[in-house]
Amino acid sequence: MSRGVYDYDLLTFRAYPPRTGEVLELLESVPASIRDSRDDSRWILPHYGDHLGSEEEVRQYTTVTVHPDRVVVCHGNSEGGLGRAKKFVGWLLSLGAWELEAGQVHVGPVSSVEEVFGRDWPDPDLVPLPTRSPPITGRLLELRRDVLGKTDVLSVHSDGALSFWRLTDAGQEIGADRRLDDATCARLAILLKRPRFKGDVPGPDGEYLRPVWLTLEAPTAVEGAPKIDAARPPPAYGELMTLLEGWADALASDPMGTLTGLRPASDSALPPRWDPPRPSTDSPVAIGELIVLRHFMGDEVGFIHDHVRIHRSGRATIELLSDDDYSRWDGMVDDDLLARWPKLVEPLWTLASTRPKEILDELRLYVETPKARHEATVDITNPVPVVKELVDLFNRWVEILGKESRARPDGLKTINRTR
């Protein structure tokens, strides 16, 4: 497999049959995704930490446009935007192979993200620490000072998260994370209201005996960044400087130590990391459409349970269970069957859910999406016409694999025994 070189190109993907439904489901699930009000076929996809404002401002981010016959991915002009584009394309290719056009060049079929992207762009959904600048929400206060050729950085978020780093020319020497207890967090909120954080604050003689730099940030702006003489701070900064420098001194001396007003950082919960739903034959289905065919024969012949699951993406699972054996195969349906799949599955939603009395050998049919589920029962020996092809397919696969585990029944492009 060759490594891709199309990171910076406009990417157009085509598949037959189109997979519009699954693509739209994914786009709706991306955190903070925005459907363009001027073009409802286009979606704007932020990466974690983007501060989305007006639609004019967000047009710099990754966009995905869904047409009836193609999906167009335009990366954002940042590492996070390229990471979002790569992650979306990786999910897109998990549905199966697509024909790729990069810029104005027809590339051909691709089936893995490595064939498209040549670089390892950052995960756009990796949740940063709340003490990283700039803050995603709330306010962030940072104290920075020079100590014997090293730099101390103490960062405190308004939600109570605290981080301390001692940095040298060689990198990070000390790192510690804590969380303010409720009382200390409330006190800090009061202290942040007192200073103006506007302009430098030297000592009484205009000099700095022990200079420190404070920065107060909100998600969209720096509210202030004064240089202060910590040895002789003005009254408005006195208690705040005592608190911040006390934490910095203690953590520099003992990064694992216990401090009054602070508790371990593990007590705080970060927002969950988002991962795109993947097409799968597992039920309940996370994305797309899944059908399940289940045939059970009772105690007269011993316990036998045949089970076939097929996802709209083409993934297929066949399971044969008996009293003393369990076999499983996973594979992909062939292109012809995949192209006809929507027409085969559509009638299942309209079958009566009540079990007909005249059934002699029942086959249970289930069809589901993330938002809906329907089930019906048919006679496996005499199915109603609208599901006859599906039932015949089920019977052939089960019969062939039951006799020869390495066979590849018609209708399947690939099949591998996994149990």
Per residue in 229-261, pLDDT (tens digit) is 888 988 888 899 999 999 999 999 998 888 888
Nearest-angstrom CA–CA distance, 192 and 240:
8
What pLDDT is attached to residue 196? 67
pLDDT per position as a tens digit, 345-354: 888 898 887 7
Token digits of residue 393: 């397919």
**Domain 290-417 carries which CATH code?**
3.30.1560
Write the CATH number of the domain with boundaries 140-267: 3.30.1560
pLDDT at 143: 92
Give the span between the Cα atoms of 273 and 372, in whole angstroms.
Answer: 26
Question: Could you tell me if 42 and 210 are in contact, meaning their C-beta atoms sit under 8 angstroms apart?
Answer: no
User: What is the distance between the alpha carbons of residues 384 and 388, in angstroms, rounded to a whole number?
Assistant: 6
Question: Which amino acid appears at position 179 of this protein?
Answer: R
Same fold, 140-267 and 290-417: yes
DSSP state of 267: G
All structural domains of the chain with their residue ranges = 11-115, 140-267, 290-417
Residues of the chain with pLDDT under 70: 1-4, 31, 47-60, 126-128, 194-197, 266-275, 298-304
The span from the CA of 302 to the CA of 79, in Å, is: 59
Helix (H, G, I), strand (E, B) or coil at 89: helix
Residue 116's pLDDT is: 93
Is 382:359 a contact under the CB 8 Å cutoff? Answer: no
Outline where DSSP puts E strands in 32-130: 34-35, 42-45, 62-66, 71-74, 98-102, 105-110
146-201: pLDDT as tens digits: 988 889 999 999 889 999 998 887 777 888 889 999 999 999 888 887 666 677 88
